[in-house]
Structure 1
Amino acid sequence: MTSPLVFFLFLQAFTDGITNKLIGCYVGGSMQDVVLVRVYGNKTELFVDREFEVKSFRVLQAHRCAPRLYCTFNNGLCYEYLQGVALEPEHIRSPANFRHIARQMAKYHAIHAHNGWVPQSDLWLKMSKFFSLVPTHFEDPEKDQRLNSEVPSAACLRDEMIWLQQNLSKLGSPVVLCHNDLLCKNIIYNQQEGNVKFIDYEYAGYNYQAFDIGNHFNEFAGLNEVDYTLYPGRELQLQWLRAYLEAYKEYKSQGTQVSNTEVEVLYVQVNRFALASHFFWGLWALIQAQYSTIDFDFLGYAVLRFSQYFKMKPEVTSLLLPE
C-alpha cells in the first residue's frame, strides 16, 4: 500500500496595500509557485468598477503586461505572482530604473482600443462620483473636528473640481489606457530579467496620458512617510519624459525621434495633471476614512493631498505650453 502524498499549504499576508487584503498561497517551503488572492476592501465597490478592473486585467494580460488571472469571485480575484521586488521611492529615481518604468508605461499607453473605438477619459465622471460619496461628518468626534478644521469645505472642493476640468481638458493630452495608480509598491522589479512589471489594475482605464505620468511623479513622495520634496525636479522629469516618448513612439510605429518641443509640451501637461492626481486621491482618501477597516490614517492622507494640491497650484498653472 503506497503512502498518500501530503501537501502543506502555506499562506503569507502582504501588508503594503491600503485598499484590499492580499494573501499569497504556496506549497512547500519556498515561494516559487505562488498564487495571490486579493480580497476587496470594505465598500470599495462604491468607487471601484470591479467588472472593468477584470476587463482591463485581461486586456493587459493579452498584451503581456499583466500576470495570468486564474479566477474571480464575488469579493476578490486570484492571479499569478510576479517574481521580483516592489520598488521603494529611492529606487524609482535612478536612471536605470526610471527608464524601465517609462518604457513599461509607454507600452500600456500604446495599446490600441478595440474596433477602432475612440476612447474618452472617465476622469471627471469618476471625480464627480467620488465627490458625491465624500462624508459630510464622522461619528468619531475627533475625526469630525479634523474634517471641519483641516479639510477644504465641500463648496471649495466643488469649485476646484470644476476649475480642474475646465483648465486641464483643453491641454490636448491624448486619452490612452492608463494604470492610474502607479505608486512604488505597484512596480515589481525582476533583477534576473532586468525589467519591471506593474501590478494592481483596479483603477486602470482610459484616461489622459499626462494624468498617469503626473500621478506617478507624485508617488515619488512615498506613501507611509510622505515627503513631497522628493517630487522630481525639472531635469529628472525631462530625462524621464524623453525616455517615455521615445518608447511610446516606437510602440506606436512612429519612429523614435523626439523633439525638445514634444518633451516640453508633455512636461507642462504632466505637471498640470499632477494637480488632478492630488485632488482625485484626496477625495478617495476621505471616502476610505469613512468605510475602510484597514489600519491607516486616511483622513490625514487626504489632508496631505489637498495641502499639496493648493501648494502646487500657483507654480504649475504658471507653466505655459510652447508656441
Structure 2
Amino acid sequence: METQLHVPTGLPVITKIPIYVEEHKVTEGAMTLIKELRPAWDSSRVKTKFFTDGTTNKLVGLYMEDQPEDTVLVRVYGNKTELIVDRDNELKSFQVLHANGCAPRLYCSFQNGICYEFMPGDALGTQDVRDPALLRLIAREMARIHAIHAHNGCIPKPNLWLKIRQYFSLVATEFTDQASNLRIQQEVPSKAVLEEEMAWMKEHLSTLGSPVVLCHNDLLCKNIIHNSKEGHVRFIDYEYSSYNYQAFDIGNHFNEFAGMVELDYGLYPSREMQMEWLRVYLQAYKTFTNKTEEVSPRELETLYVQVNKFALASHFFWGFWALIQAKYSSIDFDFLGYAVLRFNQYFKTKPALMALQIPE
C-alpha cells in the first residue's frame, strides 16, 4: 500500500538547474533560466508576462515577440510553501500526467521552482464551469486522470488524512499581528473542536467506499484551461495531486464553483447540475477503465452522496491550508478570512449532508 506516485521507467529525467530565484527579482532570475533553456533566443527581445491569479506562487511567462506560442512559464515557489506542498510528488505528478497527455511539458526544475510549457487557452471562471458544454468536458477530463495507473501494481492509499493531519500540526494559533490573533480566537473554531471534527470525518468518510484514484485535488476554476480551437479542457497546477478518494476530487471541484476571491456558496451546483456532471463522469470513467455496462441510477446516487459528503473534508483541507498561508505567505490575500468562510461553510452544511444515505 502506498500514497506515492510511481513514475514509469523510460520517462525523461527532469533537468535540474542549480539556480535560486529571489522572490522580489523574479524577472532577472527567469531571464537567467531562459539563457539555459532557450540559448538561441536574443535576450534583448524576450518579453515577459506576469500571471497574478496564484495564491501560492509567483508565475511569469517568457517569450519572443514573434513566437508567442512558445511561451516558457517560470514558477517561483512561495515563502514556506514546502510546508504544505510535497515538491517531489508534484514533479512526479507532472511527469505522469504529461506522459498520459494530460499535462504540459516540464522543462526543468530549479532550486525554488519549475519551468514548463504554456498551454494555450482560457482559464475558466465561476460562470464557465456551469456552462453545460464545458461542464461535460471537465467531467470527462477528470475521469481520464482518475483512470491513470501510476502505482506500480501496489494498492494506492489516499493521502487525505495524512495531509489534513500534517496541515493541522502546522496551523498557527499565535500571530505576530495582534489583530490576526484576535480574529483567530473569535472566528476560528478551537483546535480541540477541529481535532474532534477531523476524527469524526475520517471515521465516517473512510467507510463510504469511494475508490482511491490519481486525483488533481485542487480543481478551482482558474486551474482549468479551455482550448476552444482544439475543443478540449486541460487541468494545470499539480502541487496537490496525489492518490486520493475519487469523491474528494469531485466534491472539492464542486466547492470551487463558489469562487475564491469573492466566495459565494449560492453558486454551489444544484442536485440537477451535479447529476448531469456525475453521469458524464461515470460514463467516461467506465470507458477509460474498459467497463462496458451502462451507468445505473444506483451508481449515480451513490456517487452523489459520496461526493457531497467528501465536500466537507475539502472545506477542512483548505481551511487549514489558508491558516498556514496566513502566517507565512507574502501574497496579498486575506487567507485568514478565507479560512473562516471555509470552516463556517463546513458547519453550516454538515447536518444536511450527513442526512444523505447511500442507496441499499
Q: With structure 1 as the length reference, what TM-score do the two structures score?
A: 0.97
* Alpha-carbon distance in structure 2 between the residues aligned to 1:256 and 1:49: 38
* Alpha-carbon distance in structure 1 between the residues aligned to 2:45 and 2:76: 22
C-alpha contact (below 8 Å) 2:96/2:150 kept by paired residues = no
2:273 paired with 1:236: yes
Aligned residue for 2:89, secondary structure, equals helix
- Match of 2:94? 57
- Match of 2:235? 198
C-alpha contact (below 8 Å) 2:103/2:236 kept by paired residues = yes
* Alpha-carbon distance in structure 2 between the residues aligned to 1:189 and 1:256: 30
2:350 paired with 1:275: no
* Alpha-carbon distance in structure 2 between the residues aligned to 1:67 and 1:252: 23
Aligned residue for 2:230, secondary structure, equals coil
Give the drift of 1:32: 1.8
C-alpha contact (below 8 Å) 2:128/2:134 kept by paired residues = yes
User: What are the Cα deviations for residues 70-108 of structure 1, in whole angstroms up to 9, with x where unaligned?
Assistant: 000110000000000000000100110000000000000
Aligned residue for 1:11, secondary structure, equals strand
Q: Percent sequence identity over matched residues?
A: 63
Aligned residue for 1:77, secondary structure, equals strand
- Match of 1:248? 285
C-alpha contact (below 8 Å) 2:158/2:243 kept by paired residues = yes
2:128 paired with 1:91: yes
C-alpha contact (below 8 Å) 1:92/1:184 kept by paired residues = yes
- The worse-fitting range, judged by mean Cα deviation, of 197-206 and 136-145 is 136-145
* Alpha-carbon distance in structure 2 between the residues aligned to 1:292 and 1:52: 21
- Match of 2:9? none
* Alpha-carbon distance in structure 1 between the residues aligned to 2:298 and 2:136: 20
C-alpha contact (below 8 Å) 1:247/1:256 kept by paired residues = no
* Map 1:214-229 → 2, pairs under 5 A: 214-229=251-266
- The worse-fitting range, judged by mean Cα deviation, of 22-31 and 313-322 is 22-31
- Match of 1:155? 192
Give the drift of 1:113: 3.0
C-alpha contact (below 8 Å) 1:173/1:209 kept by paired residues = yes
* Alpha-carbon distance in structure 2 between the residues aligned to 1:5 and 1:269: 51
C-alpha contact (below 8 Å) 1:84/1:191 kept by paired residues = yes
- Structure 1 regions of 5+ residues with no counterpart? none
2:339 paired with 1:302: yes
C-alpha contact (below 8 Å) 1:250/1:256 kept by paired residues = no
User: What are the Cα deviations for residues 264-312 of structure 1, in whole angstroms up to 9, with x where unaligned?
Assistant: 0000000000000001000000000000000000000000000000001
- Structure 2 regions of 5+ residues with no counterpart? 1-39
| Residue 148 to residue 5, structure 1, CA distance change in 2 (3 Å) | closer
2:50 paired with 1:13: yes
Moved over 3 A (4+): 4-7
Q: What is the root-mean-square deviation in Å for CA atoms of aligned residues? A: 1.2
Matched positions, count: 320
- Match of 1:173? 210
